[in-house]
Structure 1
Amino acid sequence: MIDGKIIDIGEEALAEDDNLVLFFGPTVTPGLRPYAVVQEITRPEEITLRVGRQILFGGESYQIQAVGSLAEANLKAIGHVTMVFGEVSQPELVNAIYLSPAKVPDFTVGQLIQYPGGAQDE
């Protein structure tokens, strides 16, 4: 697993009635920062997003249901991805990871996020 850590949560990033969360790396622009969960990822180039793999949020496991065509590349390059918590078979957003269960985790600053990747996940 590849470790990431939440370093900031914008004041508009989490809405109770929304199942979509925007993640960005530390270089997020000031205009987007209020709407983003900001993360640092240790080895982003090793992340491999595949249907059926798991992402852990503070140890809570979520299964990848679908991956948009640009999600992995943008996550590796700038730490940006949209996480959609809900079942779907075909990605509608090119930069999204669709996860189940359909419950948005309770995100906190300092929380560990573990992405699939690295030699041990192959």
Structure 2
Amino acid sequence: MQSKVIQIGEKAIDIKEPMIILFDDSATEPLQQVSVIHRFIEPQEWFELADGDRILFDEQEYRISYIGNHVLRNLQSIGHTTMIFKNWDEERLETSIYLTPHILPTITDGTIISYRKKD
């Protein structure tokens, strides 16, 4: 499963906030300002993501430490999830993916986001 970054909102990346909000191009203008807009590359093979699976931003690899129950449905319908690059606590967001390492990836227009099952 892969998507391509097509737009980065003016307020989408902030090193003080270790997260990236993803939406597809149906996002409203206010959401586009704070989001990374991406488009899935066809043909799409959907699969359940799980703890330990990997997400790559181009060649930058991250491991899923927690994935919320609503992530896959939201990704399929509106291309939405929030990727969080810090430890999760008791109040995990069910629309979010928590990733390690806890460093924001470098993202540019054209970045390919790849979702891969653990080996």
Cα contact 1:49–1:67 (8 A) shared by 2: yes
2:93 corresponding residue in structure 1: 93
2:114 corresponding residue in structure 1: 114
* Structure 2 residue ranges without an equivalent (≥5): none
The 2-side partners of 1:56 and 1:90 are apart by 26
2:56 corresponding residue in structure 1: 56
Query: How many pairs are equivalent?
Result: 118
Q: CA RMSD in A?
A: 2.0
Cα contact 1:44–1:79 (8 A) shared by 2: no
- The offset of 1:71, in angstroms, is 1.1
- The offset of 1:59, in angstroms, is 1.3
Letter in 1 for 2:62: Y
The 2-side partners of 1:77 and 1:91 are apart by 24
Please give the residue correspondences for 1:1-122 in structure 2 after superposition, counting only pairs within 5 Å: 2-42=1-41, 43=43, 46-88=46-88, 92-116=92-116
TM-score normalised by the chain length of structure 1:
0.87
> Percent identity at matched positions?
31
* Structure 1 residue ranges without an equivalent (≥5): none
List structure 1 runs of 4+ shifted beyond 6 angstroms.
Answer: none
The 1-side partners of 2:11 and 2:55 are apart by 23
TM-score normalised by the chain length of structure 2:
0.89
Aligned residue for 1:46, secondary structure, equals coil
Cα displacement string for residues 57-97 of structure 1 (whole angstroms, at most 9, x for unaligned residues) = 11111000001111111011110000001233766111100
- The offset of 1:47, in angstroms, is 3.7
